[in-house]
Amino acid sequence: MGLSVNNITKKFGDYTAVDELSFELSSRGVFALLGTNGAGKTTSIRIILGMLSAESGEVLWDGKPFLAAERPVGYLAEERGLYPKIRVIEQLLYFCTLKGMKRADAMKSLDYWFDRLSVSEHKNKRADQLSKGNQQKIQLIAALAPDPELLILDEPLSGLDPVNAELFKSVIREEIKKDKFIIMSSHQMTTIEEFCRDIVILNKGKTVLKGNLNEIKKSHGRVKLTVKTEGDISKMASECGLSVAEETPNGSSFNVRSEEQAHKLLNMIIAAKIPLIRYELREPSLQELFIESVGAENEN
């Protein structure tokens, strides 16, 4: 049955940080917990992990109360969580023992991940001697070393250069192949689209969009049109009832009401013999859905 989050609510005084949040990880894979800054994502994660208590609601695993301390859970926090003056290997061994690992098993797992993330030369250094990117790698090792069944990644690619970001992505892909339950929170929507099947978007603690990402996109239809030509098509677009939503070097983007509207513009371009470089009619991206959902909520 996996993880079930049922109607959790968290208040700080008169402020409601999380308002009746519900979702399920009923099958293995990556679930996305998204939202604006201050939307309640990290608070929700801390409630799931038992670091905070909720005013109401429950978190279950296979239908029973979920106690993170009793389950194999890995957590990569957005903020740095290392002891700055302690050697990396010492604190990672300590974290592994907290998860119930024997020292020999912990060393074997740590050596694998030191090598996998190319930080073996740093294991005897203090954490404050490492770059931010390498500190992020060490925190990922702390999350992965106990081989958790549930992995929670809060902004996993934050502050990483493109090479290390791709390295982290390759590790995430490996964990997916191991059939892990994964919760990912990130502001990088292209990364979420790359990995996640189901999503929840929060705004001011409330759920504004929820469900299977592919099904959400299909429900909107192919309503995003990008056109690039070697001539001016502004008059044609106007005749089709279209106005430019965005102008970029890759072309003009339009919001269309129907595919027929987009096809009409295409036929006019062809009839006028204007050289066509790009014509793309597509479903909305996650970033567009995010802005639409959060923007609509903030206008109310």
Domain CATH code at residue 188: 3.40.50.300
Domain finish residue from 217, 242, 267: 217
> Taking the CB of residue 211, how many other CB atoms lie within 10 A of it?
13
Are 190 and 252 in the same domain? no
pLDDT in tens, 11-21: 999 999 999 99
Are 113 and 194 in the same domain? yes
In this predicted structure, the answer to whether residue 300 has a pLDDT above a threshold of 60 is no
Q: Tell me the CA end-to-end span of the chain in Å, nearest whole number.
A: 36
Six-digit token string for 242: 């279209």
pTM: 0.87
Which DSSP state fits 283? P
Which range has highest mean pLDDT (61-70, 74-83, 260-269)?
260-269
CA 123 to chain CA centroid, Å, is 29
Are 201 and 229 in the same domain? no
In this predicted structure, the answer to whether residue 198 has a pLDDT above a threshold of 80 is yes
- In percent, the amount of the chain with pLDDT more than 70 equals 98
Which DSSP state fits 138? H
| pLDDT tier for residue 111 given thresholds of 50, 70 and 90 | very high
In this predicted structure, the answer to whether residue 26 has a pLDDT above a threshold of 90 is no
- In percent, the amount of the chain with pLDDT more than 90 equals 84
Per-residue pLDDT averaged across 52-56, rounded?
94
Are 246 and 171 in the same domain? no
Burial 11-45 (b: 16+ CB within 10 A, else e): eeeeebbbbebebebeeebbbbbbbbeebbbbbbb
Six-digit token string for 132: 């931010």
Minimum mean pLDDT range among 95-109, 130-144, 235-249, 283-297:
283-297
Give the DSSP H/E element, type plus range, for residue 236: helix 234-239
Q: Is residue 296 part of a domain?
A: no
Whole-number pLDDT of residue 215: 95
User: For residues 96 and 278, what is the distance between their CA atoms, to the nearest angstrom?
Assistant: 53
Are 160 and 241 in the same domain? no
In this predicted structure, the answer to whether residue 297 has a pLDDT above a threshold of 60 is no
Q: Is residue 291 part of a domain?
A: no
Are 149 and 229 in the same domain? no
Are 174 and 274 in the same domain? no
Are 163 and 230 in the same domain? no
pLDDT in tens, 203-254: 999 999 999 999 999 999 999 999 999 999 999 999 999 989 889 998 999 9
User: For residues 212 and 207, what is the distance between their CA atoms, to the nearest angstrom?
Assistant: 14
Structural domain of residue 231, as residue ranges? 222-282
* Structural domain count of the chain: 2
Six-digit token string for 220: 């909107």
Domain finish residue from 189, 217, 245: 217
Question: 123: exposed, middle or buried (C-beta count within 10 Å: 0-12, 13-18, 19+)?
Answer: middle
Domain finish residue from 184, 217, 250: 217
Q: Is residue 297 part of a domain?
A: no
Q: Is residue 293 part of a domain?
A: no
CATH number of the CATH domain containing 261: 3.30.70
Whole-number pLDDT of residue 79: 81
Whole-number pLDDT of residue 115: 97
Are 166 and 269 in the same domain? no
Are 209 and 239 in the same domain? no
Are 262 and 193 in the same domain? no
Q: For the chain, how big is the Rg over CA atoms in Å?
A: 23
Whole-number pLDDT of residue 299: 55
Dihedral sign, Cα of residue 36, residue 26, residue 96, residue 122 = negative
Are 166 and 23 in the same domain? yes
Per-residue pLDDT averaged across 102-110, rounded?
96
